[in-house]
Amino acid sequence: MSVFESFGLRKVINASGKMTALGASAVSDEVAAALQKASQDYVDIDEMMEFAGQVIAEYTGAEDGCPTCGAAAGIAISVSSVITGKNLTLIERMPESEGLKNEIILQKGQQIHFGANIGQMIRLGGGKVVEVGSANKVEADHIQQAITEKTAALFYVKSHHAVQKGMQPIETMLEIANNHNIPFIIDAAAEEDFKKYIKMGADIVIYSGGKALEGPTSGLICGKKEWMEACRMQYKGIGRPMKIGKEGVAGLIAALKQYPFKKDNAEDQIARMKKLCQSLENVEGLTCSIKQDEAGRAIYRAQIEVDSDKAGMTAEQLLNRLETGNPAIYLRHHYVNIGILAVDPRPLLKGQEEIIANTIKSILKEEQLL
């Protein structure tokens, strides 16, 4: 029995992905041990934060880093840092930034909702969101012409939630930022390559610690030293109510040290999802295939298309039955409105793909017998 079941909560099978709403990742024994040991001891927090910054720098190739309680906090802290720098008086003013250089330029197709509104995270840091272009088309001129003496940073969102077509690439935004001597921030929360964007020349890059890294609930910011020092200083301001504790930092450090030794398990993902599809291949109304992640990451999911006329229920109805059961089974449902569900193999424990397939068949059989 899991600790959550001992509380009286339902058992959850997470086939949705490393989602905040489901607790992100299940950590390794080594990370769990770091969390436990840190929770039972003491440390100078300022010293720990500086040390964590050095570790983040080592594993990202950046000049310095700053740990956070999550990527969303990383957005607010990063935005505040480019507005205030290390000026304590300004830090204590945030998010009130009237009269300061506070405009954050964001492509319209990247003004997303990831569980919260990304514009709100920017505003929490004192930023004024300046959307450019249209939801499905942004020209370089839109970005150039939005720059004023009030521009504090250009902001890019690398996410499957964002519009993937018609946006200007990172390279274009980076060139524009460099030409105008403006900081360039990338929200790369779920990305797997922790060095890519620093190598490209980004000033500030934000990651989740609980997604690809498979660490505890946490986040990390990496980038130029001047900005990372300013980021850490935000804990004397807007960062205070979103501070990360000693346990989270210890777990984040342990996860960073493990990350270079993780093996690509794409073949295992594909094999497990093939097995799931084979189990569903003769089910009336279902078509199962394997699809790579929309954002191009090495993630291979089973995509289940539901023909409601033949299956006897819609994809949304099937999803609801799965989520309200015990165990509660959560599938990826970004395209449920067009009859598509997906199974993400990464968070699944051994054998859980069989439970998912059997439960789906049981639900549909029960529905068809009514």
What is the per-residue pLDDT across 186-235, written as a single tens digit (0 to 9) for each? Answer: 999 999 999 999 999 999 999 999 999 999 999 999 999 999 999 999 99
- Give the Cα separation of 86 and 95 in Å (integer): 15
Cis previous bond, 327, omega within 30 = yes
Percent of the chain with pLDDT over 90: 85
Question: What pLDDT band is residue 256 in, cutting at 50, 70 and 90?
Answer: very high
Domain with CATH 3.40.640.10 in the chain: 42-261
Select from 3.90.1150.180, 3.30.70.270, 3.40.50.12500, 3.40.50.2300 the CATH code of 3-22+264-369.
3.90.1150.180
Average pLDDT, the chain: 94
Q: What is the pLDDT at residue 369?
A: 58
Question: What pLDDT band is residue 368 in, cutting at 50, 70 and 90?
Answer: low
Q: What is the pLDDT at residue 26?
A: 85
Domain with CATH 3.90.1150.180 in the chain: 3-22+264-369
Torsion sign, CA atoms 86, 59, 215, 29: negative
Question: What pLDDT band is residue 20 in, cutting at 50, 70 and 90?
Answer: confident
Q: Is 328 helix (H, G, I), strand (E, B) or coil?
A: strand
Among left, alpha and beta (phi > 0; psi -120 to 50; other), residue 111 is beta
Question: What pLDDT band is residue 23 in, cutting at 50, 70 and 90?
Answer: confident
CB neighbours of 123 closer than 8 A, spacing ≥ 6? Answer: 95, 129
CB neighbours of 316 closer than 8 A, spacing ≥ 6? Answer: 336, 337
Report the range of poorest mean pLDDT among 99-108, 204-213, 290-299, 331-340: 290-299
Answer whether residue 178 shows pLDDT above 70: yes
Q: What is the pLDDT at residue 21?
A: 82
Question: What pLDDT band is residue 365 in, cutting at 50, 70 and 90?
Answer: confident
Which tokens is 316 given? 């949304």
Over residues 82-89, mean pLDDT: 98
pLDDT digits (tens, 9 = 90+) for 40-83: 999 999 999 999 999 999 999 999 999 999 999 999 999 999 99
CATH topology assigned to domain 42-261 = Aspartate Aminotransferase; domain 2 (3.40.640)
